[in-house]
Amino acid sequence: MKPIIDAPSPNCDERAEPISLVVLHYTGMESGKEALDRLTDAASKVSAHYLIEQDGQVYALVPEEKRAWHAGLGGWGPHDNVNQVSIGIELVNRGHFWGYEEFPEAQMTALEDLLAGMMQRHGLKPHQVVGHSDIAPERKEDPGEKFPWDRFAAKGLTLGTYQGGADGPLPDCVEAIEMLAEIGYRVTPTHPVAATLAFQRRFCPQDLGQGLSPLTRAAISAVAGRLRV
């Protein structure tokens, strides 16, 4: 990994709880420079702990012991204030609005190195690395369905995508929604669509947009079962 460049952001404050999550984002802007400028501008009121350019250059914006302002409204499991318990990493990518791109090799290699170090420092497990869309499914799509979760899962850094089929006993739709909440998603039986889409982007991208299909319900059951072990 290239030497990390310090680019301090004023947009942070004190943490009151231990770190228990890492949240992966994409910048969703036209360039890395534009994203870096915004994340370090006091007027923007947003930041992250790290920004990773497409060439693998890592910028350190906020010390890990401080709370960066990256998660916004949302929640995960018992955590209503995700900023309080998380490290935020922004990946330079134009995103769905400007033209969603594959994540380059150099950028992913840098992320591997960065994640491995912080997970060791803070004693984090693979299920504690989530996407922005996981914690804010009604507002966000990032890092999106092109993010290579399986690459990171192979190195013990994240959970991988679902590789099975739709065979065997399946939960019904109500049970699947309850399992989404068990995994960590904020969802109610009357409003499952956003959380289902976020789950598909993360764990079942081949079924994106297919609702609570048999394959998606099988995937939900598998992920929930894995987290119970």
What CA–CA distance (Å, rounded) separates 82 from 138?
Answer: 15
- Which residues carry out catalysis? 90
- Sheet architecture: strand order including 5-6: 5-6, 58-60, 50-52, 86-91, 21-26, 129-131
Residues facing residue 130 across a β-bridge: 23
Backbone dihedral angles phi then psi of residue 124, each to the nearest 5 degrees: -90, 150
Q: What is the DSSP letter of 132?
A: H
If one counts every other C-beta atom within 10 angstroms of the C-beta of residue 27, the result is 25
Backbone dihedral angles phi then psi of residue 125, each to the nearest 5 degrees: -105, 165
